[in-house]
C-alpha cells in the first residue's frame, strides 16, 4: 500500500513543479494571448542566475533565489518592452515567431557563458535525509519545492483576484478595447505579465535545477515539456495549470509504476499523459478550465 501512496506523493511533487513551470506560460497567454516559446530559456536563466549569485558571489542561496526572481522579473519586462511592445496589434503569429526568435537569441547568449555547456549543481543547503512517513518518503528538496510552488501559485491567485493590477490584467485578458476604454494601460499590463512570468520561471528553474542538477539542455526543455499541462488546464487558467500539472504528474508516476515493465510495456510514463490529454481534449477542447469564447456575429 505504501507503494501506492509513494506514487501519489511523487505524482503531486512532479505535478506541482510542472504547474509552477507552466505558470509563466499561462500568465503571458492570459494577458496577451501569446504562447511564449522562450519560456524554457527564462527557466534556465533564472536557475543559472541563482547559481552564479550563490557560488560565484557567495550570496546565501535564499537571497540569491529571491534576487534571481527579481532579476528575471526586470529582464522579462525589458524583453517585452524592447521586442514585443511594438507588436501590439499585429497578428498573434508574428508575436509567436518573435518568441521563437528570442529563444534562439537566449540560447546563443547562454552558450557564450560556461552555463551553456557545463554541468553544475547547487550547493547542498537542505538536509540530505528524506522525510519518511508510513513508508512514504519525500526529500527536503522536493518538499521545499512543493511549498514554494504552492506559496507562489497562491500568491498569484490572490494577486489576480484581489489586487488592482491583477484585476487590470484580467480585464485586458478579457477585452483589450474594453480595458483601454476604462483607462487601463494595456502595454503596461503586457509588461507586467511578462515580468511576473519571468519571476515564476526563475522560481521553477531553481526548483528543477535543484532536483536534476544544472544542465542547460535539461532545464530549457521544461519550457516545452509543460506545454501539455497548459493545454490540458486551459491556456489562460492558473487553477487549470495547477490541476493539470498534478494530473499529469500523477498519470506519469502511475503509468511508470504500474504499466512500465509489465505487459511488455515501457516508457508509458512519458506517453500516457499525452494520450490522456488527447482524450480529454476530445471532450473539452479548451482544456479543463479554459474559457470557451463564443463570438456572436
Partner 1 sequence: MKNKATTFFNVFLVIVFVFAFALPAYAGKTYKLGMSLAITGPTSDAGNPYAKGAEDWFKFVNETDYLGDGDKIDCPIRDDQYKNDVTKRFFEEFLDDGILIFLSYATGGNLALKRDFEEVQIPVIPASYHEGLIVDANYTFMPVATYSENAVGLAEYITENHKGDNIPQVAFFIHPSAFGRGPLEDTQKAIAEGMKIEIVEVVEHGTDLDNTAMLQRLVSKGVQYVICQTVQTPVATMLTDAQRLGVTAATFGETGKLTFLGAHYTGGSDLIALAGTATEGYIWADSYNLTSENNEGAKKQLELAERYGRDEKAANSHNYGAGILAAQIATEAIKMAKDAGMEVNRENLYKMMQKMNFNSFVAAGPVTYSETERIGVDVQNIYIAQDGIFKKIQSFESQYIQKVRAGR
Near partner 1 by CB under 8 A: residue from 218, 239, 280, 281: 218
**Distance separating alpha carbons of residues 238 and 161, to the nearest angstrom:** 11
The region of 73-81, 195-203, 263-271, 279-287 touching partner 1 under the rule CB under 8 A is 263-271
Asked if 143 is part of the footprint of partner 1 (rule: CB under 8 A), the reply reads: no
**Distance separating alpha carbons of residues 52 and 60, to the nearest angstrom:** 11
Q: What is the closest distance, in whole angstroms, from the C-beta atom of residue 121 to partner 1 in the complex?
A: 5
Q: What is the closest distance, in whole angstroms, from the C-beta atom of residue 84 to partner 1 in the complex?
A: 25
Q: What is the closest distance, in whole angstroms, from the C-beta atom of residue 20 to partner 1 in the complex?
A: 11
Q: What is the closest distance, in whole angstroms, from the C-beta atom of residue 72 to partner 1 in the complex?
A: 21
Near partner 1 by CB under 8 A: residue from 60, 101, 178, 267: 267
Asked if 254 is part of the footprint of partner 1 (rule: CB under 8 A), the reply reads: yes
The region of 37-45, 157-165, 198-206, 253-261 touching partner 1 under the rule CB under 8 A is 253-261
Helix 61-79 vs helix 39-51: crossing angle, to nearest 10: 140
DSSP state letter for 90: S
**Cβ proximity of 33 and 87 under 8 Å:** no
Near partner 1 by CB under 8 A: residue from 72, 99, 173, 256: 256
Which residue lies nearer to partner 1 by CB, 166 or 249? 249
Angle in degrees, CA 226, 227, 233, rounded to 5: 90
Cβ neighbours for 247, distance < 8 A, ≥ 6 positions apart: 15, 232, 276
Asked if 43 is part of the footprint of partner 1 (rule: CB under 8 A), the reply reads: no
Near partner 1 by CB under 8 A: residue from 90, 118, 174, 175: 118
Nearest to 2 by CA among 140, 132, 146, 139: 132
Asked if 111 is part of the footprint of partner 1 (rule: CB under 8 A), the reply reads: yes
**Distance separating alpha carbons of residues 239 and 30, to the nearest angstrom:** 12
Nearest to 193 by CA among 83, 60, 30: 30
Grid cell digits, residue 165: 493590477
DSSP state letter for 124: P
**Cβ proximity of 87 and 99 under 8 Å:** no
Asked if 107 is part of the footprint of partner 1 (rule: CB under 8 A), the reply reads: yes
Residues that bind partner 1 in the complex, under the rule CB under 8 A: 3, 6-7, 9-10, 13-14, 17-18, 107-108, 111, 114, 116-121, 124, 128, 130, 137, 139, 142, 208, 211-215, 217-218, 221-222, 225, 253-254, 256-257, 260-261, 266-267, 269-270
Amino acid at each position: 500500500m505504501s507503494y501506492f501512496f509513494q506514487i501519489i506523493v511523487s505524482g503531486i511533487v512532479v505535478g506541482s513543479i510542472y504547474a509552477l513551470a507552466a505558470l509563466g506560460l499561462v500568465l503571458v497567454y492570459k494577458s496577451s494571448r501569446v504562447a511564449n516559446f522562450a519560456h524554457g530559456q527564462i527557466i534556465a536563466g533564472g536557475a543559472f542566475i541563482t547559481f552564479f549569485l550563490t557560488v560565484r558571489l557567495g550570496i546565501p542561496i535564499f537571497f540569491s533565489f529571491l534576487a534571481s526572481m527579481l532579476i528575471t522579473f526586470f529582464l522579462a519586462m525589458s524583453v517585452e518592452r524592447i521586442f514585443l511592445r511594438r507588436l501590439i496589434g499585429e497578428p498573434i503569429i508574428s508575436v509567436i515567431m518573435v518568441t521563437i526568435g528570442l529563444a534562439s537569441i537566449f540560447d546563443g547568449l547562454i552558450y557564450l557563458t560556461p552555463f551553456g555547456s557545463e554541468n553544475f549543481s547547487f550547493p547542498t543547503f537542505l538536509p540530505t535525509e528524506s522525510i519518511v512517513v508510513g513508508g512514504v518518503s519525500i526529500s527536503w528538496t522536493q518538499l521545499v519545492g512543493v511549498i514554494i510552488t504552492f506559496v507562489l501559485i497562491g500568491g498569484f491567485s490572490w494577486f489576480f483576484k484581489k489586487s488592482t493590477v491583477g484585476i487590470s490584467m484580467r480585464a485586458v485578458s478579457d477585452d483589450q478595447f474594453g480595458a483601454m476604454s476604462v483607462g487601463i494601460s494595456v502595454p503596461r499590463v503586457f509588461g507586467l505579465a511578462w515580468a511576473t512570468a519571468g519571476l515564476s520561471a526563475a522560481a521553477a528553474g531553481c526548483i528543477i535545477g535543484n532536483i536534476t542538477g544544472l544542465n542547460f539542455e535539461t532545464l530549457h526543455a521544461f519550457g516545452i515539456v509543460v506545454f501539455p499541462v497548459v493545454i490540458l488546464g486551459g491556456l489562460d487558467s492558473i487553477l487549470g495549470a495547477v490541476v493539470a500539472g498534478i494530473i499529469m504528474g500523477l498519470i506519469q508516476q502511475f503509468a511508470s509504476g504500474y504499466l512500465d515493465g509489465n505487459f511488455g510495456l515501457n516508457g508509458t510514463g512519458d506517453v500516457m499523459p499525452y494520450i490522456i490529454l488527447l482524450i480529454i481534449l476530445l471532450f473539452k477542447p479548451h482544456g479543463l478550465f479554459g474559457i470557451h469564447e463564443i463570438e456572436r456575429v
